Amino acid sequence: MSTQDLVPSPVGPVDVEQAEAALVERYPRLVRIAYLVLPPSLGRNRRVLTAHALVQRSLPRRRVPGPAVPQPRAAEDAVDPGYAYVRGEVLRQALVAGLPLRRLALPRRAQFPPLLPHVWGLRLFPRVGGADELALDQRLSRLSGPGRAAYVLRGLERQGDPEVLRVLAAAGVEDPESALAEADAVDAVDAPETRRAPGTPTDHPERVGEQPGPGDRGPTPGPTGTGTATGPSALGAGAGAGRPGGHGTGGGAGRPADGTGSEGGEAEAGPGARGGGRTAAGPAAGGGPGRPGAGDPAGVGGGWPEAGPSAGGGGGRSGAGDPAGVGRGRPGAGPAAGGGAGRPGAGDPAGVGRGRPEAGPTAGGSAGRPGTGDPAGVGGSRAGVFDPGLRRSGVALLESDEFDPCALQARPTDLVRRRQHVRAVVVGVVALLVCGALLGLPGDGWGRNGAAAPSYARNPAAEAALDPAALKRVPPAVWPVSTRQDFSVWPARGGLTGDRALLRRALAVWARPGTSVHSSATPGTPVGPPMGPPQLLFAGVVDGARVVLLHDGLRAVRYAEPVEGTAGTALDFARTDGADTVGSAALVVSRAAGNVRYLTAPWVKETVVRDLLVPGKAPLPLPRDAAGVTEPMTSPALAQGCTRWNTLEVVDGSGRRLLTDLGELTPARLLWGPPAAPADATGAEARGAWARTACQLTAVRAHGVRSVNAWRFARQALPEGAGHGTWLCTRAETWRGTGSRVLAQFLVPSPAVPAALAARSEGSPACGVREPRVLAGVLWQAPGGGWYVLAAGSAGFTALEVSGGVKGRSDGPVLAVRAAAGARADLGGTLADGTRVGALR
């Protein structure tokens, strides 16, 4: 037979409701079919769950259409279309589930373990059968998936070979005939080992028949009897045993000893034909193959008479009511109905058949000791006891509890291993969360948030502060009419003020700088995200970097990223609270290659560069562009030595200001004068003093300095006529208000000699507005070679004295006492009110 001829029988149209009704009604049988076709290598627990899942997934989603032109239906197609469709889907999925997973092929849904139904903590499996069930399961495990499907269709569904071939072809089997040949091999192994009745030839092994299945087309109920044929090549007998054919075809099959066959009804004729007759009427209907008997001279067919006084059954020795003495009698009427195999007895002369009487005074009995209806006690009725010497066939075993996935037993899984698996799952989930967090970190490249770290919160206020559209932008016309001049009235300038992507990255890095960001902040400056939308001061390209300057009222923030590449992102913070007109005159916009550029305030009219160490030298002009960015100038904050100290001198509407770079975002203002009334260090005296003390500014570099004031608190005549010395006090104020640094310096008469550091202190109120007094001393060598302790105090000191290695006292604010080289002494002073004050330290 060619596979092209295996056209599936039409099963449509099928409604969803019709398929659901068939699935619910035949659910146990469909699950059994799936369980038997699935490969045993899956394990019993997974086979059970997979079988249920396949059946539950076989319900169509919509109506299944039928063929456009109806095909002629065969007799075996008289199956409910809904059941036929669902059974075909179950077979197709079960065959797919048995296929191995391949590396290059996409896996199909049926090849995965089922999601539903699923049982946690338990293993489910059918009830354990006997040795016969185990042997059949082993034989089925050696078959291929199509072979198991063919065996199940033939044995469990009672389908004939043509219908089995068509169903397999519809399920997607490429070679149905090979699958049927595999099933035939199992049938050959399933030949049962039965007890042989006395006098029965050894070449006629008995076979116990199977019960009819849903696919059986046996005779209609009535006063009939069925016989089980026996013979050298018996495959089954009776009205449902073996492979049933079309409607009206006999059930039993077997070859007679002489090679001829006799059949009744609509059975096909031929030598060794399978079949038993179904006669309409007759006094004695024929039995199965065997020796000739009444009603069946050839002893081949299993008779099932509609009427007759003595209905025969099966093949074997002749006997009353069962001339062949072998078949299983099912008399509908008659005084003596044939029984099963066994010793001759009343109602079962051969004593072989299994009686199932429906009427009659002496019907075949059950297996056991001889009794009424079964003198030999061999034949088994439905209420009888099975003889241990008889073994059921493989087809009959398919109905056993061993292969019933709906009657299940439950046992726990390996509890110790389950506990270990739970721990492993918990560890895996934690590791997955950690890996997900690590994968969320920014890598190379400017993404949506650039070099920003992962978002830490979903606060509406914080998100609004990071929205570039919410940035505050001050129009250029605001500052001239404003009552205050500080960073709050700076207009937004630069060529990239409209670049939202750049602004978004700047805000994101400000809020959460990543590990690759080079961040700096002046002491005491918070580095957290802004409390609200900040103000945009500048956005543009400067020295090969995209720079953004922002201000939030407390801090000035500089964000810089390179134009080319992704490395070198910088973020600088500087505290600017309380900035006035001079304090907000300029911000550092770029610092590169030892140079610095400033962004000046819109009210700055002129910018020049002045070398603080050369007070008599004229300043150099410092051009600016349209955005207010100056040309680069040498920065003293990055210089290695102190050979030049360039400062920025700006001119605004009220005068000149002198600013210096101390390595911070905001330049420091240089002042000259007493603490109560300092002025900008732009005069000749101030520049002369700063020329000798500028190099001491390195002591306050990167300290958050807002302004530095220097003033002369004393002048002293030097011993041995060496001239007059000058005492200076330098105080650096910070933006945070604390941490101020005070330096006391001594200047010799020679202007080329820089100031000598006499004392220093941090956090002291000396030399400031709150405490303007100061006292300091030095060990000085006169030009003649003598050593002296020189000391001086500010106004208010009435007496000074030294003790320790050098002793001396003077009335007034200055003191000079001869000492030895390297001498150490303690210095103190007395104020006009008698208060003792120590030296600056």
What's the 3-state SS for 513-535? ECCCCEEEECCCCCCCCCCCCCE
- Render pLDDT for 134-153 as a digit per residue (tens, 0 to 9): 888 888 888 898 989 999 99
For the cut 90, the answer to whether the pLDDT of residue 343 exceeds it is: no
**Per-residue pLDDT at 65:** 77
Helical spans, DSSP H, in 338-458: 394-397, 415-439
Interior CA angle at 511 toward 508 and 512, to 5°? 85
- Give the mean model confidence (pLDDT) for residues 419-436: 86
**Where does the pLDDT of residue 254 fall: very low under 50, low under 70, confident under 90, or very high at 90 and above?**
very low
Contact 179, 168 (CB under 8 A): yes
**Per-residue pLDDT at 444:** 45
* Residues contacting 522, CB < 8 A, separation 6+: 573, 574, 575, 664, 665, 702, 703, 704, 735
SS3 category, 431: helix
For the cut 90, the answer to whether the pLDDT of residue 222 exceeds it is: no
Give the phi and the psi of residue 562 in degrees, each rounded to 5. -70, 150
Helical spans, DSSP H, in 331-414: 394-397
Contact 230, 196 (CB under 8 A): no
For the cut 80, the answer to whether the pLDDT of residue 551 exceeds it is: yes
For the cut 80, the answer to whether the pLDDT of residue 841 exceeds it is: yes
The dihedral through the CA atoms of 123, 399, 200, 377 has a sign that is: positive
Tokens representing 243 are: 């492979």
How many whole angstroms separate alpha carbon 424 and alpha carbon 409?
A: 29
Contact 560, 569 (CB under 8 A): yes
User: E-assigned strands of 486-585?
Assistant: 518-521, 535-542, 545-551, 555-562, 570-575
For the cut 70, the answer to whether the pLDDT of residue 239 exceeds it is: no
**Per-residue pLDDT at 350:** 35
CB atoms within 10 A of CB 818: 13
Question: Does 840 or 348 have the greater pLDDT score?
Answer: 840
Question: Does 587 or 387 have the greater pLDDT score?
Answer: 587
Query: 833: exposed, middle or buried (C-beta count within 10 Å: 0-12, 13-18, 19+)?
Result: exposed
Contact 295, 306 (CB under 8 A): no
List the beta bridge partners of residue 452.
Answer: 513
For the cut 60, the answer to whether the pLDDT of residue 158 exceeds it is: yes
- Render pLDDT for 730-747 as a digit per residue (tens, 0 to 9): 999 999 999 999 999 999
- Render pLDDT for 268-312 as a digit per residue (tens, 0 to 9): 333 333 333 333 333 333 333 333 333 343 333 333 333 333 333
- Give the mean model confidence (pLDDT) for residues 620-642: 92
- Give the mean model confidence (pLDDT) for residues 514-530: 91
**Per-residue pLDDT at 803:** 93
Interior CA angle at 65 toward 62 and 66, to 5°? 155
Question: Does 560 or 444 have the greater pLDDT score?
Answer: 560
Number of helices and strands in the chain (H, E)? 13, 29
- What DSSP letter does each residue of 19-69 carry, written as one string? HHHHHHHTHHHHHHHHHHHS-GGG-HHHHHHHHHHHHHTTS-SS-B---SS
For the cut 90, the answer to whether the pLDDT of residue 813 exceeds it is: yes
Contact 649, 621 (CB under 8 A): no
**Per-residue pLDDT at 322:** 40
For the cut 70, the answer to whether the pLDDT of residue 690 exceeds it is: yes
For the cut 80, the answer to whether the pLDDT of residue 26 exceeds it is: yes
**Where does the pLDDT of residue 503 fall: very low under 50, low under 70, confident under 90, or very high at 90 and above?**
very high
- Give the mean model confidence (pLDDT) for residues 155-178: 89
* Residues contacting 819, CB < 8 A, separation 6+: 779, 787, 788, 789, 805, 806, 825
For 95, how many CA atoms within 13 A lie in the half-sphere containing its CB? 24
For the cut 70, the answer to whether the pLDDT of residue 566 exceeds it is: no
List the beta bridge partners of residue 710.
Answer: 672, 730
Tokens representing 119 are: 């049982």
**Per-residue pLDDT at 231:** 35
Smallest Cα–Cα separation from 559: which of 530, 579, 589? Answer: 589
Pick left, alpha or beta for residue 275 (phi over 0 → left; psi -120 to 50 → alpha; otherwise beta). Answer: left
**Per-residue pLDDT at 761:** 94
**Per-residue pLDDT at 114:** 80
- Give the mean model confidence (pLDDT) for residues 362-376: 36
User: E-assigned strands of 335-438?
Assistant: 340-341, 352-353, 408-412
Pick left, alpha or beta for residue 799 (phi over 0 → left; psi -120 to 50 → alpha; otherwise beta). Answer: beta
- Give the mean model confidence (pLDDT) for residues 15-26: 87
Q: What percent of the chain has pLDDT over 70?
A: 69
Contact 523, 704 (CB under 8 A): yes
For the cut 70, the answer to whether the pLDDT of residue 422 exceeds it is: yes
**Per-residue pLDDT at 113:** 78
Smallest Cα–Cα separation from 231: which of 294, 316, 312? Answer: 316
For the cut 90, the answer to whether the pLDDT of residue 723 exceeds it is: yes
**Per-residue pLDDT at 447:** 56
Mean pLDDT for the chain? 75
**Per-residue pLDDT at 446:** 52
CB atoms within 10 A of CB 242: 27
For 514, how many CA atoms within 13 A lie in the half-sphere containing its CB? 22
**Where does the pLDDT of residue 321 fall: very low under 50, low under 70, confident under 90, or very high at 90 and above?**
very low
- Give the mean model confidence (pLDDT) for residues 761-786: 93
**Per-residue pLDDT at 792:** 96
